[in-house]
Amino acid sequence: MSDTKAILAIAKKTIETEAEAILHLSSLLNDDFANTVECIRQSKGRVIISGIGKSAIIASKIVATLNSTGTPSIFMHAADAIHGDLGTVQKDDVVICISKSGNTAEIKMLVPLIKRGKNKLIGMTGSPDSFLASQADYLLNTHVKKEACPNNLAPTTSTTAQLVIGDALAICLLELKGFSSKDFAKYHPGGSLGKKLYLRVGDIANYNEIPQVHSSSDVKTVILEISEKMLGATAVIEDNKIAGIITDGDIRRMLNKYDNINGLTAKDIMSPSPKTIAEDVLAVKALQLMQSKNISQLLVVKGDNYKGIVHLHNLIKEGIL
């Protein structure tokens, strides 16, 4: 077998092993999972998630997912917790401890301290007979038959299972809380996902030049306006209203059509009834309109007033496309 075939065979076996384990997780869901979701939903505090080793890394990711979907959460490393960080846990907080074996020394030290504080304790473990499972108010069973590691040692399938159960918790809470796309945008203002949900056409157009010519302007004036404003187009204004648009393409078509351009005006070469978009419309809607009409610019308006141009390149720069 060539190296390429061997590598692909190992990769496929890894994916298939983990996929089989993930599918098996659904059969492990029970009332404890539903009770965990309700416990977190009704809690007046936060979700504190703790673990050690690879489980700690998974705990951090679950915390990030919960925070971004409207459930306030904090990561607390199990080793640090027993050396001072236990003060992170407040009266109304719900604590989730993640451990494959459920029997590590740190977990055995941490769990009684959490129980002493009378916080609800959720155990996420692949060992239903473990110390953690026996002490938890609710058990999230993440048992897997084997790791993807050929030695059945390196946490691979087991951490994937933990991650999936964490996602299931987050999505259940999201739906039960009615967490909307607007809420999502509030927590993701800086990323491209957030921009698609809150960035509006006017937010972009306000930073652009506002190219415009009168319908009676000569061709030289039109070309200079398009070149200087660097948006590949200019609006044509007549009686203080938008009469049309002239793009780079219109200029090329004019040169192909006319041998003599002397005497031509903007009105002679413009495209009437240009596509416009209101400045308060989401930028992603501008992208959809450009794609559907196979165009690169839209004239931005506020009511009947021309406010500028939004270009496809603006949307690319902002990460909308």
Q: Is 56 exposed, middle or buried (0-12, 13-18, 19+ CB in 10 A)?
A: buried
DSSP symbol at 300:
E
Residue appearing with tokens 């092993």: 17
Rounded to whole angstroms, how far apart are CA atoms 263 and 217?
10
Helix extents (H) in 178-271:
181-187, 192-198, 201-205, 219-229, 248-257, 266-269
pLDDT for res 135:
96
24 is in an annotated binding site: no
Phi and psi at residue 51, to the nearest 5°? -175, 180
Q: Is the pLDDT of residue 1 over 60?
A: no
C-beta of residue 205 within 8 angstroms of C-beta of residue 306: no
Which residues fall within 8 angstroms of residue 130, CB to CB, at 6 or more apart?
99, 101, 102, 103, 123
Domains of the chain listed by start with CATH number: 3-179 (3.40.50.10490), 198-317 (3.10.580.10)
118 CB contacts (<8 Å, ≥6 apart)? Answer: none
pLDDT tens per residue across span 245-266: 999 999 999 999 998 999 999 9
pTM: 0.69
Q: Cα–chain-centroid distance for residue 212?
A: 37
Planar angle of CA 151, 154, 158, nearest 5 degrees? 110
Rounded mean pLDDT of the chain?
A: 92
CB of 299 within 8 A of CB of 285? no
The CA-based dihedral angle spanning residues 71, 74, 77, 82, taken in that order and rounded to the nearest 10 degrees: -110
Tell me the average pLDDT across 149-158: 92
Percentage of the chain surpassing pLDDT 90? 83
Q: In this model, does residue 101 exceed pLDDT 60?
A: yes
What is the dihedral angle through the alpha carbons of 53, 72, 31, 156, rounded to the nearest 10 degrees? -20
Question: Which of these, 73, 111, 118, lies nearest to 92 by C-alpha position?
Answer: 118
Q: Is the pLDDT of residue 124 over 90?
A: yes
Report, as an integer, the average pLDDT of 88-94. Answer: 94
Across residues 5-26, what is the average pLDDT?
95
Report the alpha-carbon distance of residue 251 to residue 257 in Å, rounded.
10
Model confidence at 280: pLDDT above 90: yes
Report whether 308 contacts 210 (CB < 8 A): yes
